Amino acid sequence: MNVLDMKRLTKKFGDFIAVDGITLSVREGEIFGFLGANGAGKSTTIHMIASLLSISSGEIEILGRNIAKHPRFAKSNIGIVPQDLAIYEEMTALENVRFFAGLYGLGGSELKRRAEEALAFVGLADKAKSYPKHFSGGMKRRLNIACAIAHKPKLIIMDEPTVGIDPQSRNYILNSVRQLNEAGCTILYTSHYMEEVEEICTRIAIIDHGKIIADGTKEQLKAIVTDRKEIDIEVRGAGGLDLAELKRVPGVLSAELEENVLRIASAAEVRNLNRILERLMTDGVDIRAVKAREPSLEQVFLTLTGRSLRDD
Ligand SMILES: Nc1ncnc2c1ncn2[C@@H]1O[C@H](COP(=O)(O)OP(=O)(O)OP(=O)(O)O)[C@@H](O)[C@H]1O
């Protein structure tokens, strides 16, 4: 079953098309990675799913129901962790969670119980009566997550939840994502941190200039760049190495020496490892280890868009 369906979804700001006809489905149980550079259209898409922004054209369905026709159903089944923190500094942590869970439609004793559970889930039970103005950035993010999950939504949307926080809070958040997923939540996770998406997501879509340019599992995306192979050769005594000669070996696309590792990219179809190793031995280089390197999502992104994802 699909938890989320976007059909030809488009958002225009005046003449500018920020989201350009996206058609994409997220299935139940997935941790779906929504990957794109700054300004690619991730937040705009998410804001339309969460009904925080109007749609210019196209449709969004949550669990098969159109969100424009079933706004209450959509609201009760979606939890959004926004990029900009949405918490009130003058309310305690618990009051914040209760406030947001109330907005999502919870009430009475259930609201109280679920708010306490959500706060405990993010490791802030002992801070229930504290004011978030005293919290670290990571704690505020965790509180933000508690606010989005107390009503037990089917779909949790996280918009860059690890931007600007310490590594410990980052790990905490990534583990929370896994646990929420194991507990039955479907997650839409946006990020421009490639490693995170690679680590936790089961399927990934890459968005660029408002369009989906690729989607699939990590393996499927990486298959896009299998026309090249990457080889790392650990070496010693590379003083006599002639890189220019090495680059002349048929199939070699690039060769760089970084400390003791020689990084070589080569056309996948050319069998040239013997020639490369012979070349190194001729130059008197001591070969310690040879490893094939898996293509990274960064390379996939680079191949598809011609630029690097990270600009920070
Ligand atoms: N209210 C608006 N009016 C005009 N243009 C907008 C508006 N909101 C977003 N945009 C533009 O739409 C494009 C997509 O922005 P969006 O915030 O969705 O990108 P993003 O992928 O989420 O990037 P980031 O990671 O920086 O948030 C950008 O060029 C942005 O400048």
- Predicted confidence (pLDDT) per residue in 10-53, tens digit: 999 999 999 999 999 999 999 999 998 888 999 999 999 999 89
Q: Which protein residue has the closest C-alpha to ligand 1 atom 5?
A: 13
Closest by Cα among 49, 43, 81, 83 to 63: 49
pLDDT at 311: 55
82 lines ligand 1 (CB under 6 A): no
Q: Residue 234 in contact with residue 289, Cβ under 8 Å?
A: yes
Domain with residue 127: its CATH number is 3.40.50.300
> What's at 214, amino acid-wise?
A
Three-state SS for 199? helix
On whether both 152 and 237 belong to a single domain, the answer is no
Q: Is residue 13 within 6 Å of ligand 1 at its C-beta?
A: yes
* Residue 42 Cα to ligand 1 middle (Å): 8
Nearest ligand 1 atom to alpha carbon 14: 4
Q: Is the CB of 38 under 6 A from ligand 1?
A: yes
Q: At what angle do helices 93-103 and 137-149 cross, to 10 degrees?
A: 40
- In ligand 1, the atom with minimum distance to the C-alpha of 47 is 18
How much is the pTM?
0.80
Are 190 and 158 a contacting pair, CB within 8 Å?
A: yes
Instruction: Please tell me if the CB atom of residue 191 comes closer than 6 angstroms to any atom of ligand 1.
Output: no
Identify the weakest region by mean pLDDT among 5-19, 43-57, 158-172, 279-293.
158-172
- Residue 114 included in any domain: yes
Yes or no: say if 225 and 303 are a contact pair by the CB < 8 Å rule. yes
- Inside any domain, residue 306: no
Whether residue 184 is found in the same domain as residue 125: yes
Q: Which domain holds residue 85?
A: 2-223
